[in-house]
Structure 1
């Protein structure tokens, strides 16, 4: 199985956290997860000693041509969004994208992709704290300030800090399906997919007492009952809150509405069942809470741009199940 070549860009003042995220997500032991091996390499515009923002010095060997054959190029958070990235870096990114590599800007790394001209006419995001500067510097980008990450034409950008993990997990999801991404997330002890957007993390008052925020328990309760009829009123009752208070707290906690959150959770459940079971589409629709196969197909078409059967053909875990793809009909 051919390795996926990942090149992570290093530069003076780079975030040690963002520099390590790709190796943490893509560097998991591939065999138990059915993953193709990932080869994570590091590249710098000026090879040699590179000092991270935390003071740690790492060495990027000279003479390594790890940018020319990379399948995936990742730029960590840029050290100064006011300062344009050097031509050596932006030229390398343009060449990588032109030959078909996916190019990723984590957090303020989106500024580097913008300097390379890769965001013109494309959807993009970055850390919410720099949203105004980003919009000013890159007016040709279709700026999406409220999302955690966005992929447009093989150019991917993410929101701040921990959203880098969300973004990299989504890259695993694209290549290997939701179930594998879920298993990687479990090894990292992190949620496989966070719904909502950056709005839930923008500075706002927090509850004074832990007991005031009952969302985690309610969300887990709902996840265990996705096949059942669920509504805003039912969840508010479980949380022992009024409808109005629950609606406000729910949006603060998840960044979205109850309807959209339930649709996302049910879609994720359907993906998992398609990847790991031989259940017919109708049974999966019922188990995930969509009710009918028509509703399931509509959600797949709207959110994933594919059909349940096509998704299953792409991601059904043949090796782990030891059986051929189940016959499915949309």
Structure 2
């Protein structure tokens, strides 16, 4: 979770501002961009998960490629600034976002940006590849991420990666596949670094949202909820000396109401790309099943905008009716400059 004011301070009411700066290749192109309509949206279901949009006066319409709001490597650095009546101030960095487009519209220009995983998506590798001898999680993530720096957060083990692992040409698909096989999350944080972070359970929450505080609503059945798997099939293979070896691990969880006779089979199939043995495939199957059992259902919260929140954070929820649950953040829509707007937070509820 990003550092910032205490939850009690946010609930009491703070003045909110935004500071947008533009850099390119480490050089500052503009400070104090007069940005309005600033919105940051994050969806774990997208290949490039985060999108930042904002508007600026028409005088900021790019005239040449290297003008600040151009889309030739320019990046917007966005900070949310909270200020208390006492004068105390908190600056919450939302991160760096590479410009992907702009559009002039009357008296303003609209800018669209993406998080830095766009750099991976725009730069596929020339050929499929495998990890070099001696590769570890950190070194392989860095090789696949190219120029985007990589860091392993506390709780992520820098273990060996099998040389028999095979990746395609997509850098984004490769890093996500590697992360899935290790049961870790990936996100680009405010420092412009791709962080691998542990997927934590609900034993410790980062923040508690209460009705009457920052929580506005937590409907019990959001639209678009998907059916949870009750069977997990994980496969892995390796080829050495022209001979292919395959491994399969199957796990099931059919306690009611997920019994096969009534619920049917909902199978999640995953490939353990870096597995080099049956034991490795078994471990991957256990991990993937455990994560899905943690996240047996989804919820969408409506809260007072909270710029501290990041994907992967664990939030606790207490509703007016006394319902309590905890969930892992999988997406959000944060309106920064519209003080009348609310924030949507998508969570996967963690049962244990």
Question: Could you tell me the TM-score, scaled by structure 2's length?
Answer: 0.27
Question: Which structure shows the higher strand fraction?
Answer: 2
Higher relative contact order (CA 8 A, sep 6+): 2
For the pair shown, the structure with the greater C-alpha radius of gyration is 2
Question: Could you tell me the TM-score, scaled by structure 1's length?
Answer: 0.29
